Chain A
Amino acid sequence: MFRNINQLNDLHFDVLKEIANIGVGNAIGALSELISTQVKMTVPEVKFLKFNEVGSILGGDEVIVFGVLVNIHGDINGMMMFLLRPEAARTLVNSMLEGMGLGESDCLDEFNEMELSALEEIGNILCSSYLGAMSRFINKSAKPFPPVLARDMAAAILSVPAIEFSKMSDGVLFIDTVFETQEKNASGIFLLVPDFDSFGTILSALGVA
């Protein structure tokens, strides 16, 4: 049983990357269906960032981002976040609502009630598919609670997963994947933040604890 996130070695990182690959692969499939567009993803990166560097993964501490947070319970506890910039949020929301015959907009500052709930649902579908795939792969339960959406400065949004990590380390482990839709340029980031014990559970399940 490892006692400190700072002790993670290359093998651990590879395993976490593989889990992210499977999770995101599944989530991207769900997204493609939802917006009827092919979606590509990058190979996931596992990064250990110091607290004062976390804002940089989204382009700066004060950059406005949307975050969908899903708390996880079961054998694996913790949280999962899906983060994106307003441009990407607009692209995804328009794609989804267009498919339903509803209007679209170019506005990046204002999202109406329906658009926000569409975005929350996109985050929910993505996180749930990710968790479902991961859960089957490691044969441990990881059930999502209902999603919650927030829009604010990147550092403020990221303070939530960072605080979870601060209980066990002096930095944040980000399992981060960028996806892009082909015609419409939209990218987002997934963050899986298992709590300390769940890290052990995931690594044990794969025989690398």
Chain B
Amino acid sequence: MNRVMVGMADMNITKDPGVLITLGLGSCVGICLYDPTSKVAGMAHCMLPDSTQIMNNDNLAKFVDTAIIRLINDMGRAGANKRAIVAKLAGGAQMFAFNSTNDSMRIGDRNVDASIKILKELNIPIKSMDVRENYGRTIELHTSTGILNIKTIGKGTKEI
């Protein structure tokens, strides 16, 4: 089985049998894509919602908008049926409980909002989400089932 790590501002795909893993997802959003017909899976660990707002935007995996499109294309090349792809989202936490509307403190929310918007535009259904709140998450996407495992510190584990 392939165990594929996905770091911050990184993305990866794997074929079955495999698992994609991101450790300690905080305010970044983990975008998980899965084609149940070919069992090809992809995961992106994005830091910012919108590449068009940033000058230095060469790293496609850093931004929600560019990462999703790149991930779909990479999955297609690996044999996924693009029309069958479904999504799961995790992360986008607000790690520090600031009582403020400060934009940079709300970055987790904005990452989640951007992911939902772009997936909707691309007609990719979001099957489930474990997002926002105020805690970190380690996530594992399994190609055999499409299940996303989520581990936390003190908030339990779950499968979505």
Chain A nearest CB, measured from B25 CB (Å): 6
Q: Tell me the A46-84 residues at the B interface (CB within 8 Å).
A: 51-52, 54-55, 61-62, 64, 67, 69, 71
Q: Bound complex: CA of A170 vs CA of B59, how far in Å? A: 8
In the bound complex, do residue B136 and residue A156 qualify as a contact, i.e. CB atoms below 8 Å apart? yes
Q: Tell me the B70-111 residues at the A interface (CB within 8 Å).
A: 93, 95-98, 102, 104-105, 107
Q: Tell me the A68-111 residues at the B interface (CB within 8 Å).
A: 69, 71
A side interface size, CB within 8 A: 32
Chain B nearest CB, measured from A7 CB (Å): 12
Interface residues on chain B, size class: 20 to 34
Query: Quick check: is B42 within 8 A (CB to CB) of the other chain?
Result: no
Residue of B nearest to A165 (CB): B47
What B residues does A153 contact at CB under 8 A? 23-24, 26, 136, 138, 153
Pairs of residues from A and B, 7 with the lowest C-beta to C-beta distance, nearest first: A156-B136, A155-B24, A52-B7, A159-B26, A156-B26, A51-B8, A153-B24
Q: B-contacting residues of A (Cβ < 8 Å)? A: 4, 51-52, 54-55, 61-62, 64, 67, 69, 71, 148-160, 162-164, 166-170
Q: A-contacting residues of B (Cβ < 8 Å)? A: 7-10, 23-28, 47-48, 54, 56, 58-59, 62, 93, 95-98, 102, 104-105, 107, 134-138, 153
